[in-house]
Amino acid sequence: MQDGNTIEQTGMLRRLSPAHFRKLVGLCDHLRDIPARVAVSTAGEEIGVSLLLLDGLMGRHISDRDNRRRRLVALEVPGDFVDLHSMPLGRLDHDVTAMSDVRLAVFKHDVLKDLVRTDPEMAIALWGLTLVDAAIHRHWAYRVSAMRAMERLANFICEMEDRLALCGRADAESYALPLTQADLGDASGMTAVHVNRGLRDLREAGCCTISQGRVTIHNREKLQQIGYYQPDFLYLHDIPEGEDPAAPGRAIART
C-alpha cells in the first residue's frame, strides 16, 4: 500500500491540469481502505459516490442473472476513476470489486455535480477520463474478439505494464499483478486451465513469467509482437511530458 494519505497526481490523473487536479482533490470526502475480493457495488443499485483508486487493483464484472459466466470487463489501476460514470448515470450495469487490498478516495456525486455545473472545463476534463475508459473497453472487445489465447495474454500483459508504469507501479522489467489465473481468464475470455497453458507458452517462448503475483518481462519486443500490441488506445500522447515522481527511470512507450 501507499504511504501516507496524500493523493498523488499519477496515472490517468496526469491527464488533468495541475489546477484541475488540486481542485478535484480538495473535494474528496474521505479515504477508504477495502480488503481484497470485497464487492463495493453491484449492478443496478443506486450509487451516490464515485471512487478514485489510489492503490491496488479494482475490477468491473458483468455476470448473467445466475451469477454464472462472470467476466471482467475492466480493470482499474491507481489513478483511475473506477466509477466516475456512475455520476451522470446514477446506477451501473456491472459490479465493482476490489481485486486486491485497495485504497480509495471517495467523492460524493452531489459535490461532483456541483463541480461540473460550475466549471465546464473541469467537466470536459472528467468527461475525457471516461472517454479513455471507453477506448480501453473497445480495446478489450477487440482483443477478445480478434486474438487467440496466447496473443490475448501477451496483449493484456503489455497493456497492464503500460498502465501500471504510467502510475509508477512498474519498474524496468517487472510489475506486481495480484491476480489469479482464474482472474486472467475472466479478463481474457478463457478458462483458468487454458490461461495456465498460455502462460507456459509465453514462458517457454522466453517472453515473460508470472509468479507469485508478479509479472517479469524477459523479451518485451517479442511479447508485444505476439500480442500485436499497439498502445494507441491509451492516448498516451495526451499526457503531459515529465517524469512521474513515483516512476523514476521508466519511460512510457509512445509508439
Give me the residues that bind DNA (CB under 7 A), please: 148-150, 180-182, 189-194, 196-197, 199-200, 211-212
**Residue 117: CB atoms within 10 Å:** 10
Spell out, one character per residue from 181 to 210, where the chain touches its own copies: x when CB under 8 A holds, - when not.
-------xx---------------------
Nearer to its own copies, 93 or 110 (CB): 93
Nearer to DNA, 22 or 70 (CB): 70
Which residues, numbered 116-145, are part of the site for its own copies (CB under 8 A)?
A: 116-118, 120-121, 123-124, 127-128, 130-135, 137-142, 144-145
Min dist. Cβ of residue 43 to DNA (A): 22
Residue 65 binding its own copies, by CB under 8 A: yes
Nearer to its own copies, 29 or 121 (CB): 121
Residue with cell string 478458462: 191
Which residues, 6+ apart, have CB-to-CB distance to 127 below 8 Å? none
Q: Which amino acid is at 59?
A: G
Asked if 168 and 247 touch (Cβ cutoff 8 Å), the reply is yes
**Over the Cα atoms of the chain, what is R_g?**
18
> How is residue 215 written as a grid cell?
509479472
Options 49, 147, 150, 170; binder of its own copies; rule CB under 8 A: 147
Options 12, 16, 49, 71; binder of its own copies; rule CB under 8 A: 71
> How is residue 161 written as a grid cell?
505494464
Min dist. Cβ of residue 160 to its own copies (A): 16
Residue with cell string 476534463: 125
Q: How far is CA 15 from the centre of its chain?
A: 15
Q: Report how far residue 22's alpha carbon sits from residue 249's, in angstroms, rounded to the nearest whole number.
A: 25
Pick from its own copies, DNA, none: which does 148 bind, CB < 5 to 8 A by kind? DNA
Q: Which amino acid is at 91?
A: R
- Report which of 243, 245, 206 is spatially closest to residue 222, judged by C-alpha positions: 206
Asked if 172 and 17 touch (Cβ cutoff 8 Å), the reply is no
Options 232, 243, 245, 254; binder of its own copies; rule CB under 8 A: 232
Asked if 81 and 124 touch (Cβ cutoff 8 Å), the reply is no
Spell out, one character per residue from 72 to 101, where the chain touches its own copies: x when CB under 8 A holds, - when not.
-xx----------x--xxx--xx-------
* DSSP 8-state class, residue 170: B
Binding residues (CB under 8 A) for its own copies: these are 43-44, 60, 62, 64-65, 69, 71, 73-74, 85, 88-90, 93-94, 113, 116-118, 120-121, 123-124, 127-128, 130-135, 137-142, 144-147, 188-189, 228, 230, 232-233, 235, 238
